[in-house]
Structure 1
C-alpha cells in the first residue's frame, strides 16, 4: 500500500489521505512517455511532487486507466490542490 500525505519543508504533515494506492502490475506497465509522474511511484519507495509538478500529475490522474483508479484518485486530486494553493508544500506518496 502506498500512502499519501502533504508535507511542508520541515517534514511536518499538513494533510493525509484516508485511501492508499493499491500497487498492481498495471502501474509498472504505464507508458513512461504518457505517465512520467505516475511512473515515479513504486511500492517500496517514496515519490515527492512539488508545486510545479502537481499540475502534470493531475493531468495524468485524469487519463489514468479505470482499472488503476479508485478512491485514492479523488483524494490525490484534493491533496494536489492543497499543494497548489500553499507555499513550500509537497505531495508525498509513501511506499511500504
Structure 2
C-alpha cells in the first residue's frame, strides 16, 4: 500500500499487506462499493473523492475483516490528503 503523487513518486508506504481473501472477499457490493472494487491481482487506486469516503467504509467493516491493514490505510489517507493530486494505491500481485 502506498501514497503516490500525480507523477508517480511514492510519498508514503505501509508496512503490512492486505490479505484480500480474509478482508475483502465476499463483502456486500451495495454496502462496501469502494472496497469491493479492490482486485487482488491488479493495482487499485483511490482518487481524492474515494479516499475521502474510505475511512467511513472502513468503520463499517465487520470486526473479523479488520486488522493492521485498516490502521495502515487510515494512516496513508493523512499524507494523501495533505496535497493535491495524491492517491492511495493498493498493490496487487
Please report the TM-score for the alignment, with normalisation by the length of structure 2: 0.92
Asked whether the 8 Å contact 1:6–1:89 carries over to 2, the reply is yes
Q: Is residue 2:85 matched to residue 1:88?
A: yes
Q: Is residue 2:13 matched to residue 1:16?
A: yes
Asked whether the 8 Å contact 1:49–1:91 carries over to 2, the reply is yes
Task: Give 2:60's aligned residue.
Answer: 63
Where has structure 1 moved over 2 Å in runs of 4 or more?
none
Please report the TM-score for the alignment, with normalisation by the length of structure 1: 0.89
For residue 76 of structure 2, the aligned residue among 75, 79, 92 is 79
CA RMSD, 1 decimal: 1.2
Cα deviations across residues 23-50 of structure 1 (Å, max 9, x unaligned)?
2155221111110111111111111011
Q: Which structure 2 residues correspond to residues 26-45 of structure 1 after superposition, within 5 A? A: 27-45=24-42
**Long gaps (5+) in structure 1:** none
Equivalent residue pairs, number: 93
Q: Provide the rounded CA distance (Å) in 2 between the counterparts of 1:26 and 1:93.
A: 13
